[in-house]
Structure 1
Amino acid sequence: VWVRLHYVYPYPHVDGVLELMRDGKILPYLDIPFQHASPRILKLMKRPAHSENTLEKIKQWREVCPDLAIRSTFVVGFPGETEEDFQCLLDWLKEAKLDRVGCFTYSNIEGAPANDLPDPVPEDIKQERYERFMQVAQEISTQILKDKIGKRMTVLVDELDAEYPVAIARSYADAPEIDGNVFVEDIDKSQIQPGQL
């Protein structure tokens, strides 16, 4: 059985599960909504993480559980976000080297207090920052995946390709529907079934 933790928040709860991950009791995978890295923007977002050194936390987590895969989501273009705030986010991302990331441009949500914040970011700048963010994220992901080439890992088979001798699977670092797939080639379909490790 694979147990994977999603949307772990607030961060102090992570410390209590790392040994379980290291010891194989639950998958070494965390989905943590960091949202941003600029202390000023995190404060505007009313996120408690603005007082924590999240990079240091990530380093500590990886020391306890070296195979830990970390996924997160981020928002660019939050009201008041400056180029300096955005650069802080990019620098943080480069240092954190998260395994999987998603990014969204900020948009007003009915009734949200952030709608009333001053200095909204123009749509073209939000889009440009989104593209820059995703470029950095893709470079990091590419390197992480290259480092896995040639390594053996356990995967969970989701389905068998209808035409070719290929199993479509996921590693512990790939959540269903949001992360990537692992393709196991040259299989004997009579020996492998969906749901099998």
Structure 2
Amino acid sequence: MSNKQHVPTIGFLSLGCPKNLVDSERILTELRTDGYQIVASYHDADLVIVNTCGFIDSAVQESLEAIGEALNENGKVIVTGCLGAKEDQIREVHPKVLAITGPHSYEQMLAHVHHYVPKPQHNPFFSLVPQQGIKLTPKHYAYLKISEGCNHRCTFCIIPSMRGDLESRPIGEVLSEAKRLVAAGVKELLIISQDTSAYGVDISIA
């Protein structure tokens, strides 16, 4: 009989825009730091996370179908991302989902993972997580998200109702991440946010 400890495994599906991809990178980095192994197969996963998009009708449909596939193939599913802001809409179609969180609800989402698949005892120094975190882009470029949300209320846009008001990251935090990415060999940084031109209007950057 083997005494080797089972390493909990997480399947992960990321849908939607580059902003959502950055959220996925952060979640995956946190999971690896906590000692979880990320796997590519539903059947090899102890639990599946679906990071959804809800910007347009086709994206909503794609997200709902992806959740359904994960439930059929695995059975233990946590939903996060933009469509997670509409929990009732998800539960109406997929009532068996374990938990639902909205976009950039990292701590809440990780708490759900810890509840359903307890994190292992491990030394975080052995997690082999790159200093720049886990990236889902090719090595030569990376997305750098500088803010969340938007203060405008355009009648044609659903983003504020899902992502909330503008919340700029501190400039020092942004620069530190940029330096880590460059040190890791990234040649091109793509600056992204819901409203890039409004960066900093909500904070003092003096």
- TM normalised by structure 1 equals 0.29
- Higher radius of gyration, 1 or 2: 1
- TM normalised by structure 2 equals 0.28
Q: Which has the higher contact order (CA 8 A, sep 6+)?
A: 2
